[in-house]
Structure formats: structure tokens, C-alpha cells
Amino acid sequence: MRKYFFLIALSVLVLDRLSKWVVARYIALHDSVTVIPGLFHITHVENRGAAFGLFADSAFPWKIATLVGFSLIALVIVTVLLWKNGHAITTTTIGLSLILGGAAGNLWDRVMDGRVVDFLHFYIGSYSWPDFNVADSAIVVGALLLVSEILFTKQRHEMVKSEPQNPL
């Protein structure tokens, strides 16, 4: 079973790398291509900070090394969790696989270039979501799957406990 989870992670990594390469190759930095007017652009930006540009303007000399270090720790933890839970296809293992692939994609950018290419830009009027990429999307979807597993497993477990036991 484990090979399927690592295949999911590898697929996310490849899709992330390919999409970032296409954007960097064909869209000039800070240029935009309208996909859905009034809602969605593909905009080539570079993020030297953490998620959504946090700490991007920080002058901390070890910023990139610190971000790489945290990413490596996260990769190790997610890989261990995936290995320990990799005996069946579950919401948890799929979520962990998506997080692993996304974390690897953004780590690759940080190690190779000291920045992450972001390009998905959603907005409505003057309201705008920070630019993100395929890796970020995989991490968020994976995290949502883990949260839903925690919430719904707990609810299901509580429902089973409260049902009357049939002595037959």
C-alpha cells in the first residue's frame, strides 16, 4: 500500500514542479494572465517568505535556512506518520500524502532558489487572496482531510458509544 501514497506525493511534486516551470518560463515576473475575469489570474510572483509571504521582508540572515529546516522536520514527521499508517487507504493517508508532496515541492524551490514561485491569484473586486501554487493547494487539501478525519472519526466513535448494545 505504501507505494501508492508515495506515488501520490510524487505526482503532487511533479505537477508542482511542472506548473512552476511553465509559469516561470512563459510569464514574466509580476505579469498576469486573466483566466476568469473578475475572479482568477495566473500571476508570476516569487515568495521569499513562508506561507502567504509571511516573513518575506524579514532581514533575518538565517531566514531561508530556518524555513528549510522547518520544512525538513515537517517532511520527516509526515513521512514517519505515513509509513506507520500506510497499511490502508484512508483519509489520513491520502491527506498525509498530499502534504508530503506539497512540502517537498516548496522545499525544492527554497533549496534551489531561496524562493518559491507562486502563481494562482484569486480575487473578487478589491478583495484578494494571497498568491499560492500547486504545492500550497496540496498541503491545504491534505490538512483539511486530516481535520475532517479527526472531527468525523470522533463523532462516529461517540455515536457508536451512545447506541444501546444489543445483547443478542
* Alpha helices per DSSP H over 86-133: 91-113
Establish whether 131 is a catalytic residue: no
Tell me the HSE value of 124 on the side-chain side, using a 13 A CA sphere.
Answer: 0
SS3 content of the chain, % helix, strand, coil (to 5): 60, 15, 25
109 given a catalytic annotation: no
CA 34-36-38 angle, to 5 degrees, is: 90
Contacts of 91 (CB under 8 A, 6+ apart): 145, 146, 148, 149
Among residues 16, 109, 131, 136, the one annotated as catalytic is 136
Residue from 16, 109, 118, 131 carrying the catalytic annotation = 118
**Ramachandran sector of residue 59 (left: φ over 0; alpha: ψ -120 to 50; beta: rest):** alpha
CA–CA gap between residue 64 and residue 56 (Å, rounded): 10
* Catalytic positions, written as ranges: 118, 136
